Structure 1
Amino acid sequence: MRHRFITFYQRTASDLKVITLDLSPRNVSELEQHYPLLLFKGTNPVTVIGHYIHVAKLEESLRQSPRSRRGRSSNSLPRQGEEICPICMEPMAPKDTKKLQCKHSFCKDCVEQAFSYKPVCPVCGELYGVLKGTQPEGGQMNCTIDPTSLPGYERYKTIVINYYIPDGIQKKEHPSPGQPYKGVSRTAYLPASPEGRAILELLKQAFNQRLIFTIGRSSTSGKSNVVTWNDIHHKTSMHGGPSHYGYPDPAYLSRVREELQVKGIK
């Protein structure tokens, strides 16, 4: 059960999944009551749209025998006034319910298990505590100043960031624990303007919280078990504009600040 939970929860709250099912109108009506956070559209087949964890829960239920599913529906449908836990999709008993400051409620066990993986609300993404990533340990982040300027920032010198993550063995938080992974060296650039220097300090904080890199599949080489960027975009070229991961790009600093804020780096 824990393995299935983590598989579901590792998908982000905004990750939608679409499936098609052959269902009778009566079955659709029952499922709409039991899965209020899913959207059921059309007939023969029915298109179901929703968050990955909710669609996966529906698919798991439908794999049961018809008799088992009918019994589950009659026993598990919420009574009037009962709330459904957005994680397990089951009615919540008042004594076992936990409401977060963002006003979203969950089964205590479900939200505690969710927070053990990532301390954010599974519905709205509000952060509770300090977010730690899966960036391999033992890496280095070094910064120097280049006297030349970046396009669009001709008044300023350039901050050169050198990242180094060595090869190693994956740990339990990685995709293939016990298997080797390939490290990486990356260079990125920021203008040495006041805003650029502020972003540099935020990137240092993100690096210390292991949020800059992760282990996964390379989008360029297609290789698995390699160190990759982790959703905080960097400019890896001084020139060429956005299409070449370079400058000029007037909106870049504000974009990367927003990406850092999502991870609690402010």
Structure 2
Amino acid sequence: MNKVCDAASESIGKKELLQYFKQKAEALESETCKTCPTRKETTTLQCGHTICEACLFVKEQRMCPVCKTGNMPPGEMITTVIPDELPGNRLHDTIEIKYVFQDGIQTEGHPKPGTEYHGETFTAYLPNTSEGQKVLALLKVAWKRKLTFQIYHDPLGLYLLKYCIHHKKMKVVNTNTDDSYPDRNYLGGVQMKLAELGVTEDSLK
């Protein structure tokens, strides 16, 4: 091997040879999973890390196990306090959350890069209590880390967006769905889900 390197360096120069090996090493690294030695079926996520399918921490959310960042497409999160009472939360206003996504093109880490996905506006609600405000702060961290939504392929062949974190989408009582209030366990449950994604009270410091 040393003789080969010496012969190559004489013909193209040591500087060029070192540059060649550096480029080859970088190319190999870009194809290798950041958390295990495998090079099989790797995906480059939006954060730039290359991860194999087996090492994706939360496969449905496509969350990177290295930096805990998701692959949510760009959008806008808008919060407003409105003078309504949610069922089971008397004497408190309501926090309204709007998530706005425009139509776009899928990028690396999405189900089918280069293919269009359809945007949408989603609305959800929290009670404007101390715990509700805490959950809102945690949801803002999850949004910043691109963990809140994901692109999925629906049965009709369209690429749409859906929640990765359960939100309450109704302001009225509806016993046929878990998207409405009252629900004594919701705020605690969503905090547990956020903790699974690495979003905890420590994230607010």
TM-score range, shorter chain: 0.5 to 0.7
Alpha-carbon shift at residue 240 of structure 1 (Å): 2.1
C-alpha distance 223-254 of structure 1, shift in aligned 2 (>3 A): farther
Q: Deviations over 1:65-110 (max 9, x none)?
A: xxxxxxxxxxxxxxxxxxxxxxxxxxxxxxxxxxxxxxxxxx9404
Establish whether residue 213 from structure 1 lines up as the match of residue 146 from structure 2.
no
Alpha-carbon shift at residue 148 of structure 1 (Å): 1.3
Q: Are the counterparts in 1 of residues 102 and 119 from structure 2 also a CA contact under 8 Å?
A: yes
Counterpart of 2:139, as a letter, is: L
C-alpha distance 229-240 of structure 1, shift in aligned 2 (>3 A): same
Aligned partner of residue 109 in structure 1, secondary structure: coil
Q: Are the counterparts in 1 of residues 87 and 173 from structure 2 also a CA contact under 8 Å?
A: no
Q: Deviations over 1:1-58 (max 9, x none)?
A: xxxxxxxxxxxxxxxxxxxxxxxxxxxxxxxxxxxxxxxxxxxxxxxxxxxxxxxxxx
Give the distance between the partners of 1:229 and 1:254, measured in 2 at CA: 18
Q: Are the counterparts in 2 of residues 239 and 246 from structure 1 also a CA contact under 8 Å?
A: yes
Aligned partner of residue 134 in structure 1, secondary structure: coil
C-alpha distance 128-134 of structure 1, shift in aligned 2 (>3 A): closer
Counterpart of 2:118, as a letter, is: K
Establish whether residue 130 from structure 1 lines up as the match of residue 67 from structure 2.
yes
Q: Are the counterparts in 1 of residues 71 and 150 from structure 2 also a CA contact under 8 Å?
A: yes
Which residue pairs with 1:261 in the alignment?
A: 195
Alpha-carbon shift at residue 178 of structure 1 (Å): 0.5
Give the distance between the partners of 1:121 and 1:188, measured in 2 at CA: 23
Counterpart of 1:130, as a letter, is: C
C-alpha distance 242-109 of structure 1, shift in aligned 2 (>3 A): farther
Alpha-carbon shift at residue 243 of structure 1 (Å): 3.2
Alpha-carbon shift at residue 129 of structure 1 (Å): 4.8
Which residue pairs with 1:196 in the alignment?
A: 132
TM-score normalized with structure 1 length: 0.51
Which of 177, 180, 202 is residue 246 of structure 1 equivalent to? Answer: 180
Q: Are the counterparts in 1 of residues 82 and 94 from structure 2 also a CA contact under 8 Å?
A: yes
Which residue pairs with 2:114 in the alignment?
A: 178
Establish whether residue 237 from structure 1 lines up as the match of residue 173 from structure 2.
no
Q: Are the counterparts in 2 of residues 119 and 129 from structure 1 also a CA contact under 8 Å?
A: no
Establish whether residue 161 from structure 1 lines up as the match of residue 97 from structure 2.
yes
Which residue pairs with 2:158 in the alignment?
A: 224
Aligned partner of residue 176 in structure 2, secondary structure: helix
Counterpart of 1:165, as a letter, is: F
Q: Are the counterparts in 1 of residues 152 and 159 from structure 2 also a CA contact under 8 Å?
A: yes
Q: Deviations over 1:201-254 (max 9, x none)?
A: 010111111111111034xx8553111112x10000012246331111111111
Give the distance between the partners of 1:129 and 1:155, measured in 2 at CA: 43
Which residue pairs with 2:10 in the alignment?
A: none
Give the distance between the partners of 1:229 and 1:217, measured in 2 at CA: 14
Give the distance between the partners of 1:203 and 1:242, measured in 2 at CA: 25
Which of 66, 77, 87 is residue 141 of structure 1 equivalent to? Answer: 77
Percent identical: 33
C-alpha distance 234-248 of structure 1, shift in aligned 2 (>3 A): same
User: Which structure has the higher relative contact order (CA within 8 Å, separation 6+)?
Assistant: 2
Which residue pairs with 2:37 in the alignment?
A: 109
Q: Deviations over 1:129-165 (max 9, x none)?
A: 531111102x100000111111111021100001101
Give the distance between the partners of 1:239 and 1:254, measured in 2 at CA: 20
Q: RMSD of aligned C-alpha atoms?
A: 2.8
